[in-house]
């Protein structure tokens, strides 16, 4: 049996089990060769031989990226995304593992559904898919789902979230936090007090006032985060906060961490770059629902606070909240449009723009926040390991030196709702290796 995977002269791909990545700058350091064999990183050094050569001069080598927050939409909304298309987008973005959110149709609230999503990921093979289990049955916010059965299933669920909806009932949230302790799970809260955000359309502030759109106050997020930090501390459990978007949220999380509580948090690329005034005036006009997202884009001061918090570790990681929607759900009037943006294929570029090129993070810091920390929070084995001999060969090769206009035409995602179209962004993912097998080479799927 032929067991080489590589690009042959006629462009077809066959199997190779050994690669030498030549001259890559691991976490931005000095150039080195990386020898990969049988799915593992075997050796790092100079002048290595013993496999198909991948030229990586000038490229940054990062551990394969891990996303804690991806909407793959399957089962149920295959018109927006499938596990196949979403994981292709993930691989092209440099990801080797994604956590698939539970708000599918049917909801991923049983062992059966999470195993189905996990199996679809395995069959697609572009990156590992770890399903997130719903906290409550049908995301209904009334009864706990079968958390233990999902944890014990083949999908080995460790992250539980009603994302898209907030677990607003304090008693249910307390019970969920208590329950997941049995299997070292974590509840990932979508912090949105429902009564304070009824009918909300965009960040509550000067812009929403001028545009006459119902405001989404920062306090609706901050009140839930404060409550849940207190609850997690009270029962001694782990809490993760999804897509933090306000400066006030950062202050509360900083305070909770200062108490030694087991609270972690994520921020999306779009909340690190974009602001609410785009709704009023942007390259694509005003009231363009491409900027409609949950939680909403906030102010410049919030963006500055989020960047600072990601740099100092108050916010642990970057998570895409990749939220694909078909054209008919986005290209409509503002009030009727779906909330959400795609993000897998632009995440690293946006983080470079917002965090690296601004001097706030180095590449080791990016690796921690886009690979190590999310794998740790999700208790995901085999991912988020430093690039060193003996680790699984999950590697992303990235060229930070290029800059190009964002063009979603070539995206692998089934949806096109990117807020970056027409902007120029830095960087390009050149290759992604999943357990020693290239899923992306030369910027293209293998």
Kindly list the residues in this chain that would bind Zn ion in the complex (CB under 5 A).
Answer: 163, 190, 242
Nearer to Zn ion by Cβ, of 190 and 292: the residue is 190
Nearer to Zn ion by Cβ, of 33 and 163: the residue is 163
Q: How far is the CB of 107 from Zn ion (least distance, A)?
A: 14
Nearer to Zn ion by Cβ, of 33 and 321: the residue is 321
DSSP structure class, residue 368: I
Q: How far is the CB of 400 from Zn ion (least distance, A)?
A: 29
Nearer to Zn ion by Cβ, of 190 and 385: the residue is 190
- Alpha carbon of residue 76 to chain centroid: 21
106 Cβ neighbours under 8 A, 6+ residues apart: 75, 76, 113, 138
Burial code (b: 16+ CB inside 10 Å, e: under 16) for 300-334 equals eebbebbbebbbeebbbbbbbbbbbbbeebbeeeb
The residue of the chain with the least Cβ separation from Zn ion equals: 190
Q: How far is the CB of 94 from Zn ion (least distance, A)?
A: 22
115 Cβ neighbours under 8 A, 6+ residues apart: 153, 154, 155
Q: Catalytic positions, please?
A: 321
Q: How far is the CB of 296 from Zn ion (least distance, A)?
A: 12
Burial code (b: 16+ CB inside 10 Å, e: under 16) for 152-188 equals ebebbbbbbbbbbbbbbeeebbbbbbebbeeeebbbb
Nearer to Zn ion by Cβ, of 109 and 163: the residue is 163
Q: Determine the Cα–Cα distance for residues 33 and 116; give it in Å rounded to an integer.
A: 39
Peptide bond into 106 cis (omega under 30): yes
Q: How far is the CB of 321 from Zn ion (least distance, A)?
A: 6
């Amino acid at each position: 049996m032929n067991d080489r995977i590589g690009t042959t002269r006629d462009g077809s791909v066959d199997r190779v089990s050994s690669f030498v990545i030549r001259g890559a700058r691991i976490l931005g350091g000095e150039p080195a060769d990386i020898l990969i064999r049988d799915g593992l990183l075997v050796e790092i050094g100079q002048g290595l031989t013993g496999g198909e050569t991948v030229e990586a001069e000038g490229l940054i080598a990062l551990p394969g990226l891990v996303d804690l927050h991806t909407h793959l939409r399957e089962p149920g909304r295959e018109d927006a995304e499938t596990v196949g298309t979403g994981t292709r987008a993930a691989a092209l973005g440099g990801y080797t593992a994604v956590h698939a959110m539970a708000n599918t149709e049917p909801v991923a609230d049983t062992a059966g559904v999470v195993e189905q999503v996990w199996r679809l990921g395995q069959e697609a093979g572009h990156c590992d898919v770890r399903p997130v289990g719903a906290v409550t049955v049908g995301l209904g916010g009334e009864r706990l789902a079968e958390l233990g059965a999902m944890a014990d299933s083949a999908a080995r669920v460790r992250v539980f979230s009603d994302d898209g909806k907030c677990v607003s009932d304090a008693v249910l949230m307390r019970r969920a936090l208590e329950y997941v302790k049995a299997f070292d799970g974590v509840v990932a809260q979508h912090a949105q007090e429902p009564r304070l955000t009824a009918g909300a359309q965009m960040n509550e502030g000067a812009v929403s006032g001028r545009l006459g759109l119902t405001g989404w106050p920062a306090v609706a997020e901050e009140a839930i985060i404060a409550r849940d930090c207190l609850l997690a501390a009270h029962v001694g459990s782990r809490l993760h906060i999804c897509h933090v978007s306000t400066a006030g949220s950062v202050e509360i999380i900083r305070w909770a961490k200062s108490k030694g509580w087991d609270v972690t948090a994520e921020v999306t690329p779009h909340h690190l770059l974009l602001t609410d005034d785009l709704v009023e005036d942007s390259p694509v006009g005003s009231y363009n629902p491409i900027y409609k997202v949950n939680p909403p884009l906030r102010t410049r001061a919030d963006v500055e606070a989020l960047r600072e918090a990601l740099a100092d570790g108050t916010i642990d990681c970057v998570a895409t909240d990749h939220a694909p929607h078909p054209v008919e759900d986005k290209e409509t009037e503002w009030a009727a449009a779906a909330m959400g943006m795609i993000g897998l294929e632009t995440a690293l570029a946006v983080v470079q723009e917002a965090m690296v090129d601004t001097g706030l993070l180095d590449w080791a810091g990016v690796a921690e926040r886009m690979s190590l920390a999310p794998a740790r929070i999700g208790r995901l084995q085999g991912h988020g390991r430093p690039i060193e001999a003996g680790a699984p060969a999950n590697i992303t090769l990235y060229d930070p030196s290029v800059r190009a206009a964002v063009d979603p035409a070539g995206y692998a995602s089934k949806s096109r709702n990117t807020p970056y179209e027409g902007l120029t962004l830095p960087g390009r993912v050149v290759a992604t290796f999943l357990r020693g097998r290239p899923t992306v080479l030369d910027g293209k799927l293998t």
